[in-house]
Structure 1
Amino acid sequence: MTFEPGELVGDRYELGRQLGAGGMARVYLAYDRLLSREVAVKVLSEPYASDPQFVERFRREASAAAGLNHPNIVAVYDRGEADGSYYIVMEYLSGPDLKQVIRRRAPLPPLTAIDYAQQILAALGAAHRRDLVHRDVKPQNVMVAEDGHLKVTDFGIARAGAEADMTEAGSVIGTAQYLSPEQARGGEVTSASDCYAVGIVLYEMLTGRVPFDGGPPVAVAMKQVSDPPQPPSEIEPSIPAVLEDVVLRALAKRPSERYRTAPELSRALDEARAAIDGSGGTTRVMPIAGGTGDTGRTRVMDPVTGTTRVGPPPPEEPPRGRRRWPAVVAALVLLAAIAIGAFVLLGGDEATAVTIPPVANQPAQQAADTLTGLGLQVDQRTVTNADIEAGIAIGTVPGAGTEVREGDTVVLNVSGGPGDATVPDVEGDERTAATRALRAAGFQVQVTTEASDDVASGIVISQDPRGETQAPVGSVVTLVVSTGPEEVAVPDVRQQGLDSARAELEAAGLALGGVSEEENGDFAPGTVIRQDPGPTVRVARGTSVSVVVAAAVSTIPVPNGIVGSNATDASAKLSAAGFTVTSDTAASDEPEGVVIAVTPGEGTDVARGSTVTITVSTGPDTGVDPGAGTTGTPVPAPPPGSDENGANGRGPDGTGPPGQRR
C-alpha cells in the first residue's frame, strides 16, 4: 500500500514528508509519539511487499543493523508490519549524505578524505567482526550527522557469512560503480570486497569522480573486473603520492593483493596521514649533534688525561716558620665582634624569614591575600594558559617552599585563560566543513538552524562571532545553518473559485501553478476540483500548486436516423457519439426490432455522456399477453434474429448456429 503524510504506522509513528526512495523502499520522516522524537521510517515498496525474497532481504537488513551498535552506524530502533507492508524505524539524521558533500566540495583535502574513509572503515570493522559484509558501500549510504561524524546505513543487501545460501549462486547485487571485481563476477564476497568499495569512495572524495563509470551498469561492472583505474593524481595532481599508493592498492583486482580487512586499510591511512602532515607515525631517533662526520651511533667519550683538579693550582706552601693563619683568624673574629656591636648599638634587627606557601589553583584574590598576609609584596601578572581557568593562580616566582625575607616582592602568575585566536570565516561553507574548521582553530561549535529561500540547505548562513575577529580560544562560535526554503502546509483550495484559490495559496506562501480544465457537470465552471500537491502536504515556501478546474460540459446533438433503424445499429451509432444507451419496447406496426422512438429526440442538444433511450418495436399487437400468469405485463417479442435468450439466434449458452435452439 501507499502511505501518506499524517498516517500512523504501528500505532506509534506519525509519518511526515518522504525523505527519499531506493530500489526496495521509501523512507519517511516520522514522529515517534511514544518517545517524542523524530525518526526515519523505511517502508518496503508495494511491488516487493508480496515477494518473499524481497521481504526476507528487508527483514535481514533490520536484523543485521539492529545487532550493530557503533557510533559510525545508523541506529535501528524498531521494526514491524503494517497494512501488509513492512517497515524499519531508524535514527533520523538531518544532515546530507556523503555523495552530496562530494558533489558540493570535491576534491576534498587529503586529510579530510582520510578522516572520512577511516570513519567508514570503523563502521565496517564492527560489522565484519560480526561476520557481516555490507556489500553496498557507497557515498549515498553514508550520512553526515550534526556533529560532523559519518554514519553508515542501508545493510539491505548485506549478508552474514553463515547465511551465504540465501543469495543465489552467480547473482550480482550492489551498485555498479562501487562493485568489487569478485562481486561483479558473482563470486564470493568478503571483507576485502568492502575495502575495495571504500577505495572507490576514497578515490571519489579525492578526485570528484569514480574510477569506472559510463554506459549501462553491466558495462561498468565489467570495467571493475578488467580495467585498471586511472591514477588519481592524473586527475588531481595535488594528491600526495603516499595516499595515492594506498588508494591503488585498495583497488587491486585480486582480493589477495589488496587490503583484506578494514583495520588493515585504516592503518595504512594512518601512515599516509603521518607522512602528509609531518607528525610521523613512528618514534624516531634524533641525530647526534655534529658535522657531516656524525654517524648516528652512540659514541664513548675520550678518556680524560691528567689529574682532576679543582680550582687554580695551590700556591707554594710557605715555610713552617712563616705560616700566618692564626693572625688572619684573629683579625676576622675582631671584625665580626665590631659588626655585632655596631648593630646592637644602632638598634637594628634582622629581617624575618618567610617561606612562600603553595597558592596554585586558588582564586587570584585568595592567593594574593595569602601572600600579603605573610608580609610579602605581590606583583600579580596575567599569563595565557589553556589548561587553567581564567582568574586562577598558576604559581609564584620564586616557587612555593622558597625562603625569602619579609617585605620581599613575589610574582603571582594568574591564568588569563587560553587567550584569543582568530575565528575562521565559515559563512557560506557546508556545515560539516565549517564545524571542523572551527574546532581545528580551538573553538567549540553550537549549531542552530533557520529556513532560507536564498541559502541552500546545509550551508552556513551566519556565525557569531564573525569570521576574522578575535575570540577566546575554547569559546563557543554559534552557526546558523540553512534548512532550505521554509516548509508550509498546502491549504485545501478544492471547491473554490480560481481567484479565491490563488489568494489562499499566496497567503500561505505558495504560488498558483498550472491550471487545466476538465468537463464536470457536478461543479460550477471555474471551480477547483483537484490540486497537486494535495491538502496538508508540507512543501517548501514558494512551491507552485497545480489545479484542475471544472469546465462546462459540452453538448452534442442526438444523431439523426435513429428512428427506423435496426436497434443494434442505433445503439452502436449513439454510443459512438458519446451517449449512454438504454432501451424499452412497445408494440407497433413496424417490424420487430426496429426503433420507433428516441428520447431525447433526434437533433436535440444534450450533454456529452447523457443517457438516450430508444424504443424498439415488438411488432403488431396480437392481443396475446405473453406474460399472462406472471406479472400481468406484456413481454415484447425479441428482435428479429434473436431467440428467447437474447443470444441473437444462438443457444441458451450463446453457442450454436443461428436459428438453432437447444
Structure 2
Amino acid sequence: MNTWGVPGYTESLELGAGASGRVVLAVHEETGVPVAVKYLSESLRTRPGFVHDFRAEARLLAGLESPYVAGLYEYVESPDGAAIVMELVDGVSLRALLRREGPLGPEAALVVLKGSLLGLADAHRVGVVHRDYKPENVLVARDGSSKLVDFGIAVDSGSSAGVAGTPSYMAPEQWTGAPASPAADVYAATATFFECLTGRKPYTGENLAELALQHVDAPVPADEAPEAVRDLVRRGLAKDPGERPARAEDLLAELESAAGAAYGPDWEERGRGRLAALVALLPLLLPSARQAPRGTADTARTVLGRRPRRAVAVPGRGCRAGPGCSCRPPPCSSPPS
C-alpha cells in the first residue's frame, strides 16, 4: 500500500474509499484549516490516462466557483502519488440519509434538489457536465444545506466521452454514448429527487441490459410521486432530452414555482429543518466528530497555485495541473497582511 501523503498536511483517518482511490481527513498545517484529500489509487496512477483524467478533474474544479460545490484548494503530484485537496464539507451523504430514513418527504426532497441544482447550474454555466449526479455525490450539512461533490468523470458540454455514469441514474442518451449535455444531469438529478420522494430508484433491472431498457423505454413513474411535484418528475425524466429542462437552472425555476404553489412560502425553511434534524441523528458520520489527526512523515514534490482574490499562498510552489489552472490554498485563519 502506498503511504505517500501530501506535504504540509496532517492526516487523521479515511473518510471513504473506492476503486479509483480514497479520501482522507486532514488539516493544513500552516492555517489549521480542515480539508479532504482525494488520492488517486496506486494501481490507477501507474496506468496510462488515469493521471491525465485526475489532473483534468482538478483543472475543472479550479475553474468552478460555487458555494454549492465542494471547492478545490490545490492539486498535488509527485513521482510517488497524486492528490486533490478539497474543501471539507461537514455533512453526511444523501445516500446515508436515504438508507436510514427512506423517503424524506416532499419539502425536504425539494430542498436537497434545490441545493445541488444550484451547484449543477454553476457548473453548466461554465460548460461543465457532471455526468454522475447521485445520492452518494450530494452531501447534506448540519444546517440542512447541500453541496455537490465528485466531478471525477465530468467533461465539457458537447464532449464525446463514451458511456459513463452510474446506471440507476443515467439518462437514455448516456447509454448510447451521445455527447455530454446538461440535460443528462437534469435527468440524474430528477432520478435522485424521485428516490428522495419514494424511497426507491425510478427504474430497476436484473442486469445492465434490462436496466438500460427501462431507462430508454419504460413509462416515467411520475404517478408514484406526490401530485404537487409530478410534473417536475415527468419533465425531468423525459426520454427525449429535448423535452427536459435544458439546464439545471431551468429545472430550478420550475422547482421554485411548484414548491411555492404547493407548499407555501415557508417550504424551504421547513424542508431544511427536516434535513438538519435527520443529519443530527447521524453524528458519528460527520467529519467533525472523527478522531484527532495524526502526523505523516512522507515528503514529495508538490504543487500549489493561487487563485486571484483568495487569501494566502505558499511561496515557491507553482501549479502543475496544466495551463489555466488556478488552484487556491486553504483560507487563512486571519486576513493576510
Normalising TM by the smaller chain, what interval? Answer: 0.7 to 0.9
Q: Secondary structure at the residue paired with 2:49? A: helix
Aligned to 1:357: none
Residue 306 of structure 2 is matched in structure 1 by: none
> How many residues were matched structurally?
289
Among candidates 268, 275, 300, match of residue 254 of structure 2? 268
Pairwise CA distance, 1:250: 0.6
Q: Which amino acid aligns with 2:283?
A: S
Determine the structure 1 residue equivalent to 2:312.
Answer: none
- Residues 37 and 86 in structure 2, CA contact (< 8 A), matched pair in contact too: yes
Quote how far apart the aligned CAs of 1:120 are: 1.2
1:59 aligns with 2:60: no
Q: Indicate the residue corresponding to 2:215 in structure 1.
A: 224
Gaps of 5+ in 2: 294-337
Aligned equivalent of 1:202: 193
Percent of counterpart pairs with the same letter?
A: 36
* Matched residue, 1:433: 277
Aligned to 2:8: 12
Deviations 1:458-515 (A, max 9, x none): 59xxxxxxxxxxxxxxxxxxxxx9977x7599xxxxxxxxxxxxxxxxxxxxxxxxxx
Indicate whether 1:122 and 2:122 are aligned: no
Post-superposition shift, 1:173?
Answer: 0.8
Aligned partners of 1:278, 1:18: CA distance in 2, in Å? 42
SS at match of 2:23: strand
**1:193 paired residue among 184, 197, 214:** 184
Q: Which amino acid aligns with 1:277?
A: Y
**In 2 relative to 1, CA 458–430 (structure 1 residues): closer, same or farther, beyond 3 Å?**
farther
Aligned position for 2:165: 174
Matched AA of 1:146: R
Deviation string for 1:71-126 (max 9, x for gaps)? Answer: 10001101111343211000112311111112222312212211211111111111
More helix by share: 2
Question: Do 1:66 and 1:76's aligned partners in 2 also have CA atoms closer than 8 Å?
Answer: yes
Asked if the contact 1:31/1:39 (under 8 Å) is kept, the reply is yes
**1:183 is the counterpart of 2:174:** yes
2:25–2:287 contact (8 Å) kept in structure 1: no
> How far apart, in 1, do the equivalents of 2:75 and 2:156 lie?
19
- For residue 70 of structure 1, the aligned residue among 66, 73, 91 is 66
Q: Secondary structure at the match of 2:92?
A: coil
Q: Which residue of 2 aligns with 1:213?
A: 204
Cα distance in 2 for partners of 1:37, 1:228 equals: 48
CA distance in 2, matches of 1:487, 1:39: 14
Query: Which one of 134, 151, 156 corresponds to residue 155 of structure 1?
Result: 151
Q: Which residue of 1 aligns with 2:298?
A: none
1:174 Cα offset (Å): 0.7
The Cα shift of 1:221 comes to 2.6
What stretches of structure 1 of length at least 5 have no aligned partner?
281-423, 436-446, 448-454, 460-480, 490-662
Contact persistence 2:12–2:292 (CA under 8 A) = no
CA contact (8 A) 1:177 1:212 kept: yes
Contact 2:57 2:151 in 1 (8 A): yes
Find 2:107's aligned residue among 111, 124, 140: 111
> 2:263 is matched by which residue type in structure 1?
D
1:45 corresponds to which of 33, 41, 60: 41
Report the alpha carbon displacement of residue 275 of structure 1 after superposing the two structures with TM: 2.0
Structure-2 separation of matches of 1:230 and 1:161: 28
Alignment of 1:192-341 (within 5 A): 192-233=183-224, 239=226, 241-279=227-265
Q: How many Å separate the matches in 1 of 2:48 and 2:245?
A: 36
CA distance in 1, matches of 2:288, 2:27: 18
- Is the 1:107–1:205 Cα contact (8 Å) retained in structure 2? yes
The question of whether the paired residues in 2 share the 8 Å contact of 1:41 and 1:89 is answered with yes
Mapped to 2, the partners of 1:105 and 1:232 lie a distance apart of 22
Q: 1:214 to 1:16 in 2, by over 3 A?
A: farther
- 8 A Cα contact 1:191 1:261, kept in partner: yes
| Structure 1 residues 8 and 250, CA gap change in structure 2 (3 angstroms) | closer
1:96 counterpart SS class: strand
What's the CA shift for 1:51?
1.9
Equivalent position SS for 1:52: coil
- Superposed counterparts of 1:539-550, under 5 Å: none
Alpha-carbon shift at residue 247 of structure 1 (Å): 0.6
Q: SS at the partner of 2:151?
A: coil
Which is higher, the Rg of structure 1 or of structure 2? 1
Q: Which has the higher strand share?
A: 1
Which residue identity is paired with 2:157? G
- The one-letter code of the counterpart of 1:157 is I
CA contact (8 A) 2:26 2:37 kept: yes
**Partner deviation per Cα, 1:246-281 (whole Å, 9 max, x = no partner):** 11111000011111111211111112112212459x
TM alignment of 1:436-451, pairs within 5 A: none
Cα distance in 1, alignment partners of residues 217 and 284 from structure 2: 39
Q: 1:539-563 CA distances to partner (integer Å, 9 max, x unpaired)?
A: xxxxxxxxxxxxxxxxxxxxxxxxx
Change (3 A) 1:483 1:86: closer
* CA 1:430–1:277: 2 relative to 1, 3 Å: closer
Correspondence for 1:334: none
One-letter code of the match for 2:175? A
- Per the TM alignment, residue 210 of structure 1 is displaced from its structure 2 partner at its CA by 0.6
User: Residue 261 of structure 2: SS of its match in structure 1?
Assistant: helix
For 1:47 and 1:202, the matched residues in 2 are separated by 35
Q: Deviations over 1:591-638 (max 9, x none)?
A: xxxxxxxxxxxxxxxxxxxxxxxxxxxxxxxxxxxxxxxxxxxxxxxx
Whether the 8 Å contact between 1:80 and 1:88 is mirrored in structure 2 is: yes
CA distance 1:32–1:190, shift in 2 (3 Å): same
**Cα deviation per residue 1:208-236 (whole Å; 9 max; x = unaligned)?**
11111243334323321222233352xx6
Give distance in 2, aligned partners of 1:194 and 1:143.
17
What is the CA–CA distance in structure 2 between the aligned matches of 1:278 and 1:457, rounded to whole Å?
31
The answer to whether the Cα contact below 8 Å between 1:24 and 1:45 also exists between their aligned partners in 2 is: yes
Q: Structure 2: how far apart are the matches of 1:71 and 1:208? A: 28
Once the two structures are TM-superposed, the CA of residue 43 in structure 1 deviates from its matched residue by 0.6
Matches of 2:174 and 2:231, distance apart in 1: 23
The structure with higher relative contact order (CA 8 Å, sep 6+) is 2
C-alpha RMSD over aligned residues: 2.9
Q: Deviations over 1:330-380 (max 9, x none)?
A: xxxxxxxxxxxxxxxxxxxxxxxxxxxxxxxxxxxxxxxxxxxxxxxxxxx
| Partners of 2:29 and 2:252 in 1: CA distance | 40
Aligned to 1:88: 84
CA distance in 2, matches of 1:161, 1:39: 29
| 1:19, distance to aligned residue in structure 2 (A) | 0.9
- 2:90·2:141 contact (CA, 8 Å) conserved in 1? yes
Give the aligned partner of residue 385 of structure 1: none
